[in-house]
Amino acid sequence: MIRTEHLTKQYGKLEALTDLNLEIEQGKVFGFIGPNGAGKSTTMLILATLLAPTSGKAYVAGYDVEKEPKAVRQSLGYMPDFFGVYDNLKATEYLDFYASAYNIPAAKRKSLIADLLELVNLSNKADAYVDSLSRGMKQRLGLARCLVHSPDVLILDEPASGLDPRARIEMREILKQLRSMGKTILISSHILPELAELCDQIGVIEKGRLIACGDVDEVSVGTRGISVMQLKVLSRQEQAEAILSQSPYVRRLDNKSSHFRFHFTGTEEDKAELLSRLIAEGIPVVHFGDSNENLEDVFLAITEGVGN
Amino acid sequence: MGAFFTNPLIVKEMRERFRSKKSIWILALYLLVMGALLFGYLYLEQMNSLSVPGEEREVFVVMAVVQYAMFCFVAPALSAGTISGERERQTLNILLTTQLSPFKIVTSKLVTSLAYIFLLVVASVPLYSLLFLYGGISPSQLLTMVVFFAVNILFFGSLGLFCSTWIRRTGVSTIIAYGLAFFFVVGTGIIVLFLAQLIEEISPPGVHPFDYLGMQILCSLNPVFVMFSILGVDPGDDLRLFMDPWLFFVIACCFLSAVLVIWSGYLLKPVRRSWLGWKKR
Ligand SMILES: Nc1ncnc2c1ncn2[C@@H]1O[C@H](COP(=O)(O)OP(=O)(O)OP(=O)(O)O)[C@@H](O)[C@H]1O
Ligand SMILES: [Mg+2]
């Protein structure tokens, strides 16, 4: 549904995007992760026909973004990272405006808008002025706006930015609902655990290059041969730490009293060997395994060193 | 007219504009100023001389000049914020991803900002009807004047719209629009006067500066000259162009406005494909 081929974008001398190749299939949710300035928003702008690539091609729903922007726009809902609303409009009028901007006949709009407001849990705010809504509500209204023309593809640039935890969870629930409706979604975020639950695939981008891409587990188990591991012991922390730091595969050892966290560069066999050594030394191990509850570590591990 | 009420942008703009208190205040202020001027002037006239209704062209001229100054002031201000305002509110990108074409966006924006000015004009009709009592102006002159005002508003509106598309910030775009409007009204006049002086200096006696076609054209592009020629107040030398100066002015203004609007539409396109097959940058 979304495909880019050797996509490159330069702002003057700065290369914001270098030879990006992406392929997102229909019905998949693709999470786009990267530090600030990595080029996520740039990619999304190009896909949304708002920015011309310097070279390379990009396709949305089979249409070339440069050659057939009208068709792309019809099959695409785009939500920018920052967007404004019109202050003097009510929520329904706001959606009505965008519905008519997509040439949806007036007769259909009323029920469509009611459905959309229902979907994003804003039915009770239908007659409220848009600028009286809270940040989270505006964000949800923005999402409803992307959906007025029922596009197959959604491109959401940090939809959860600036939201409190509750609002984030609400947003995530809505996105899950959209996923179950079979939409193809490209979503970028800084809050990584959030993506893990929602996404089928993840792409890590850094300095304009895609450095890892694949299924969520694949990426976290280390496309670059790095995984993040956890070790919990009952006592004898010193010996445990000594064993860990002796191992050639352990890096970035982080010790929180009896709870260790480290990057492991070896294979699965090496992991097993490390564990058996710990046991052989008589260290009471309660937990030894991949730390997959925290994708942020994976993110840091993967992007580590690429920048410098 | 049907397209007017179904055009999404126009409907939205109208809703927004007439809901905001600012628009009502501008209207009230405008009527207040115009009314005060008119009545003040009439009052003074009554005090000073025994004027007879029906011979007062002066009142009309003053009214026309004041109103023209108002339009110069209001039209660029209203349209200079249309596109840059959307950009500043961060709604422009969203607007560009809808099925509205850039050209449709700029024309709808122009129509809505001009519609408001035409509302001001309509609101001041009662004041004008008062002027008719005093007369001193023929209906055809009045009609020409209306057309003249209309094309001026169109031109100033397009100018503001263009600046708004071209420049990112509303503040800067408004200042530049005013600058260009000022040049159009005053600058061209000064150039004409300066050139007239110069030609008079260097050319042999007997040759009149306005014998040159270029001077005639330049003069007909200056709204002040044209307005006075419509009103029949002689600016010194009457214009002898190949057509009526006001007609020339109207055609020129419409042409320039069309160029500005089309250019704005082009500038607004997010991804511009070159026609010549080669790519920029
Ligand atoms: N209009 C622009 N002109 C010049 N450089 C730009 C422009 N927009 C972005 N850049 C540069 O391009 C690079 C990528 O920016 P982009 O906005 O795509 O990053 P991002 O991944 O979205 O970051 P963030 O997580 O902060 O949103 C950055 O180095 C940025 O400085
Ligand atoms: Mg961004």
Phi, then psi, of A128 in degrees rounded to 5: -85, 150
Percent above pLDDT 90 for chain B: 27
Q: Is A33 helix (H, G, I), strand (E, B) or coil?
A: strand
Across chain B, mean pLDDT equals 81
Q: Is A37 close to ligand 1, i.e. is its CB under 6 Å away? A: yes
Closest partner residue to A89 among B12, B271, B281, by Cβ? B12
The secondary structure of A180-242 as a DSSP string is HTT-EEEEE-S-HHHHHHH-SEEEEEETTEEEEEEEHHHHHTTTTS-EEEEEEESS-HHHHHH
Going across the sheet that includes A285-290, the strands are A250-256, A259-264, A227-233, A285-290
Contact B99 A103 (CB under 8 A): yes
pTM (2 d.p.): 0.82
Residue B6 to residue A100, Cβ atoms within 8 A: yes
In a 10 Å sphere around its CB, with 0-12 CB exposed, 13-18 middle and 19+ buried, how is residue B44 labelled?
A: exposed
Q: What is the pLDDT of residue A191?
A: 65
Report the pLDDT value the prediction gives residue A152, as an integer from 0 to 100. Answer: 92
Q: What is the pLDDT of residue A306?
A: 46
DSSP state of A124: G
pLDDT at B178: 92
| Per-residue pLDDT at B279 | 42
**In chain B, what are the domain boundaries?**
2-270
Q: How far is the CA of A36 from the centre of ligand 2 (A)?
A: 7
| Residue A86 to residue B16, Cβ atoms within 8 A | yes
Q: What is the DSSP letter of A88?
A: T
Class of residue A46 by CB neighbours under 10 A (exposed 0-12, middle 13-18, buried 19+): buried
pLDDT of residue B7: 83
**pLDDT of amino acid B281:** 40
Ligand 1 atom nearest residue A81's Cα: 27
Spell out, as residue ranges, where chain A has pLDDT lower than 50.
Answer: 223, 305-308
Q: Which residue of A has its CA nearest to B271?
A: A52
Q: Is the CB of A17 under 6 A from ligand 1?
A: no
User: Backbone phi, then psi, for A108, in 5-degree steps?
Assistant: -85, -20
Size of interface A-B (CB pairs under 8 A): 79
Q: Is B3 on the interface with A (CB under 8 A)?
A: no
Q: Which pLDDT score, from 0 to 100, does residue A79 have?
A: 93
Counts of helices then strands in chain B (DSSP H, E): 14, 0
**CA separation for the pair A162, A165 (Å, rounded):** 10
Residue A40 Cα to ligand 2 middle (Å): 6
CB contact under 8 A, B16 and A89: yes
Is ligand 1 within 6 A of the CB of residue A16? yes
In this prediction, the residues of chain B whose per-residue pLDDT falls under 50 are 54, 276-281
Work out whether the CA dihedral A238, A243, A246, A248 comes out positive or negative.
Answer: negative
Output b/e per residue, A114-134; b: 16+ Cβ within 10 A: eebbebbebeebeeebbeebe
Question: Degrees (nearest 5) of the Cα angle B201, B207, B208?
Answer: 85
The answer, for A61 touching chain B at a CB cutoff of 8 Å, is no
Q: Which amino acid is at B1?
A: M
